[in-house]
Amino acid sequence: MSNMGSYDERLKNFTWSIAAEELGYKDGEVVNIGWYCSDRICDLGKAEKTALYYEGFGGAQRSYTFNDIRLISNTIGTFLRNIGLVNEDRVCLFMDRIPELYFSFLGVLKIGAIVQPLFSAFGDESLFIRLENAQTRAIITQKKHLSKVRKIKDRLPYLEFIIIVDQLKETELEGKEIVFRFENAEPVDKMAIYPTKAESPSVLHYTSGTTGQPKGVKHVHLSLVSQYLTTKWVLDLRDDDIYWCTADPGWVTGTSYGIIGPWCMGITQCVLDSGFSAQSWYQFIEKNKITVWYSAPTAIRSLMKAGDEIIRNFNLSSLRHLASVGEPLNSEAVIWAEKNFGKPFHDTFWQTETGSIMITNFPGMKVKPGSMGKPFPGIIAAVLEQKTFEPIDEPGKIGLIAFRPGWPSMMRTYWNNQEKYNEKFVNGWYLTGDKATIDNEGYFWFIGRDDDVINTGGHLVSPFEVESALLEHAAVGESAVVSKPDEINMEVVKAFISLKPGYVPNKELELEIMNFIRKKLSSFAMPQEVEFVEKLPKTRSGKIMRRVLHAQEWGEEIGDISTLEND
Ligand code: PRX
**Rounded distance, CA 459 to CA 208, Å?**
9
**Domain extent at residue 502:** 452-554
Q: Which of 204, 325, 371, 444 for mutating ligand 1's site (highest number of atoms within 8 Å of CB)?
A: 325
Pocket test for ligand 1, best of 252, 324, 350 (most atoms within 8 A of CB): 350
Look at ligand 1, atom 14, and give the residue with the nearest C-alpha.
351
Q: For residue 324, give the ligand 1 atom closest to its CA.
A: 26
- State the pLDDT at residue 433: 95
Average pLDDT over residues 354-370: 95
Of 166-170, 198-202, 392-396, 507-511, the range with the lowest mean pLDDT is 166-170
Ligand 1, atom 26, residue with closest C-alpha:
349
Question: Rounded to the nearest 10 degrees, how much is the dihedral formed by the CA atoms of 190, 194, 197, 200?
Answer: -140
Q: What is the count of structural domains for the chain?
A: 2
Distance CA 123, CA 140 (A): 16
Whose CA is closest to atom 18 on ligand 1? 326
Domain boundary among 438, 469, 487: 438
Confidence (pLDDT) at 182: 87
Give residue 436 CA to ligand 1 midpoint distance, Å.
Answer: 12
Nearest ligand 1 atom, CA 350: 14
Q: What is the pLDDT of residues 128-168, one digit of tens each?
A: 999 999 999 999 999 999 999 999 999 999 999 999 999 99
197 and 85 share a domain? yes
User: Do 477 and 400 fall into the same domain?
Assistant: no
Say how many Å lie between the CA of residue 404 and the centre of ligand 1: 18
Q: Calculate how far, in angstroms, residue 395's C-alpha sits from the geometric centre of ligand 1.
A: 22
For residue 348, which atom of ligand 1 is closest to its CA? 26
**Which residue lies with its CA nearest to atom 22 of ligand 1?**
327
Asked if residue 209 belongs to a domain, the reply is yes
487: CATH = 3.30.300.30
| Per-residue model confidence (pLDDT) at position 212 | 76
Q: Is residue 67 part of a domain?
A: yes
Is 527 in a helix, a strand, or coil? Answer: coil
So what's the pLDDT on residue 213?
86
Q: What angle do CA 367, 368, 370 make, to 5 degrees?
A: 120
Query: What's the CA gap between 384 and 478, in Å, rounded?
Result: 36
Closest ligand 1 atom to residue 449 Cα is 1
With 70 as the cut, is the pLDDT of residue 348 above it?
yes
- 378 and 477 inside one domain: no
pTM of the model: 0.95
Q: What is the mean pLDDT of residues 530-557?
A: 89
CB neighbours of 7 closer than 8 A, spacing ≥ 6? 362, 364, 365, 374, 377
- Among the candidates 394, 411, 438, a domain finishes at 438
Residue 146 inside a domain? The answer is yes
Ligand 1 closest atom vs CA 460: 10
Is 531 part of a structural domain of the chain? Answer: yes
| pLDDT tops 80 at residue 194 | yes
Specify the pLDDT at position 241: 98
Q: What atom of ligand 1 comes closest to residue 357's alpha carbon? A: 14
Q: Are 490 and 327 a contacting pair, CB within 8 Å?
A: yes
Q: What is the mean pLDDT of residues 331-345?
A: 96
Ligand 1: centre distance to CA 239 (Å): 28
Q: Which atom of ligand 1 is nearest to the CA of 353?
A: 9
Q: How far does the centroid of ligand 1 lie from the alpha carbon of residue 357, in Å? A: 10
Of residues 562 and 550, which shows the higher confidence score? 550
Tell me the CA–centroid distance for residue 287 and ligand 1, in Å.
30
Asked whether residue 528 falls in the same domain as residue 498, the answer is: yes
In a domain, 116, yes or no: yes
**Are residues 251 and 350 part of one domain?**
yes
Quick check: is 566 in a domain? Answer: no
In the reported structure, the alpha carbon of residue 32 is separated from the centroid of ligand 1 by a whole-number distance in angstroms of 27
Q: How far is the CA of 392 from the centre of ligand 1 (A)?
A: 22
Atom of ligand 1 nearest to the CA of 372: 26
Q: State the pLDDT confidence band at 541, using cuts at 50, 70 and 90.
A: confident
Question: What are the two backbone dihedrals, phi and then psi, of residue 424, each rounded to the nearest 5 degrees?
Answer: -80, -5
Work out the mean pLDDT of the chain and round it to a whole number: 95
Residue ranges around ligand 1 (CB below 6 Å): 207, 252-253, 325-329, 347-352, 372, 432-434, 446, 449, 455, 460
Q: Is 261 in contact with 231 (CB distance < 8 Å)?
A: yes
- Choose one of 334, 349, 454 to mutate for the ligand 1 pocket test, by most ligand atoms within 8 angstroms of C-beta: 349
Q: Does one domain contain both 20 and 153?
A: yes
Residues 414 and 509 in one domain: no
The rounded Å distance from CA 95 to ligand 1 centre is 23
Would strands 215-220 and 201-207 be described as parallel, antiparallel, or unpaired?
A: antiparallel
Residue of 253, 327, 352, 359 best suited for mutating to test ligand 1, as the one with most atoms within 8 Å of CB: 327
Q: Could you tell me the distance, in angstroms and rounded to a whole number, from the CA of residue 351 to the centre of ligand 1?
A: 5
Provide the residue type at 413 as one letter: T
**477 and 379 housed in the same domain:** no
Q: How many CB atoms lie within 10 A of CB 389?
A: 17
Nearest CA to ligand 1 atom 21: 327
Centroid of ligand 1 to alpha carbon of 203 (angstroms): 18
Give domain status of residue 1, yes or no.
no
Are 417 and 490 within one domain? no
What is residue 304's predicted lDDT score, i.e. its pLDDT? 96
CB neighbour list of residue 59: distance below 8 Å, 6 or more residues apart: none
Mean pLDDT calculated for residue range 172-178: 95
Give the CA distances from residue 551 to residues 157, 204, 367, 463, 557, in Å, rounded to whole numbers and listed in that order: 44, 35, 32, 15, 6
Q: Are strands 490-499 and 476-486 parallel, antiparallel or unpaired?
A: antiparallel
The Å distance, Cα 325 to ligand 1 centre, comes to 7
How many Å apart are CA 357 and CA 257, to the nearest integer? Answer: 10
If asked whether residues 431 and 473 sit together in one domain, one would say no
Atom 11 of ligand 1, nearest CA residue:
351
Return the residue whose CA atom lies nearest to atom 6 of ligand 1. Answer: 351
**CA of 299 relative to ligand 1 center, distance in Å:** 15
Residues 286 and 358 in one domain: yes
Rounded-to-integer distance, Cα 40 and Cα 69, Å: 12
Which CATH number fits the domain that encloses residue 232? 3.40.50.12780
* Cβ atoms of 203 and 117 closer than 8 Å: yes
Q: 434 CA to middle of ligand 1, Å? A: 9
Q: So what's the pLDDT on residue 566?
A: 57
Residues 305-332, mean pLDDT to the nearest whole number: 96
Q: Is residue 530 assigned to a domain?
A: yes
3-state DSSP helix/strand/coil % of the chain, to nearest 5:
30, 25, 45
The pLDDT assigned to 263 comes to: 98
The domain boundary residue, chosen from 411, 438, 465: 438
Q: By percentage, how much of the chain surpasses pLDDT 70?
A: 99
pLDDT in tens, 468-501: 999 999 999 999 999 999 999 999 999 999 999 9
Proportion of the chain above pLDDT 90, given as a percent: 91
Q: Which atom of ligand 1 is nearest to the CA of 453?
A: 1
Q: Based on the domain organization, do 536 and 428 belong to the same domain?
A: no
pLDDT tens digits for 18-67?
Answer: 999 999 999 999 999 999 999 999 999 999 999 999 999 888 999 999 99
